[in-house]
Amino acid sequence: MVRTTARHEPVARIWHTFAACRDVDPELFFPVTTTGATFERQVATAKAVCAGCPVITECFVEAFELLPHGIAGGLTPEERRASRWHQIDIRTDFDLPASTRSENAAIGAALLATGRSPASVARRCRVTERTVYRWKAAAAAKRRAEG
């Protein structure tokens, strides 16, 4: 028998209420393509949400055990299959720096867009602050060109 709370939710699933993604469109975590720039941007944006999540460990464990598709716990399905999850320190080793420069830059841009300081983004993405300022300048130039 599963223990429940007063609201009759399984205790083991209460962590979902604290997830950073609870108010984000779930489609973000299921990329529409499997390769290319669109895929990399969508994965980076989803991972940026995961990066700030207080329950990433619980999410990763559930994703590893139950989810064959989608980005969860800060990892893609391929990364989950390739990982030895019991050996990962999910707070520091969950695929940052990203596997490609463009993916890492997209994660950095997404973190900057959430209001994080360049210093904290640099630490999180394991790059120099100078690189973060380059990302910031590139994003500003792109916004000017688009609008």
- Smallest CA-to-CA distance from 80 within 57, 60, 104, 98 is with 60
Residues 25-60 pLDDT 10s:
999 999 888 888 888 889 999 999 998 888 887 888
pTM passes above 0.75: no
What is the tens place of the pLDDT at every residue in 62-71?
887 788 889 9
List the domain boundaries for the chain.
Answer: 1-90, 96-147
Give how far the C-alpha of residue 128 lies from the chain's centroid of Cα atoms, to the nearest Å. 20
How many Cα atoms are found within 13 Å in the side-chain-facing hemisphere of 68?
Answer: 0
CA pair distance 109, 101, nearest whole angstrom? 12
ω before 97 within 30° of 0 (cis)? yes
Which residue shows structure tokens 């399984």?
A: 10
Residue 53, amino acid: C
The pLDDT of residue 80 is above 70: yes
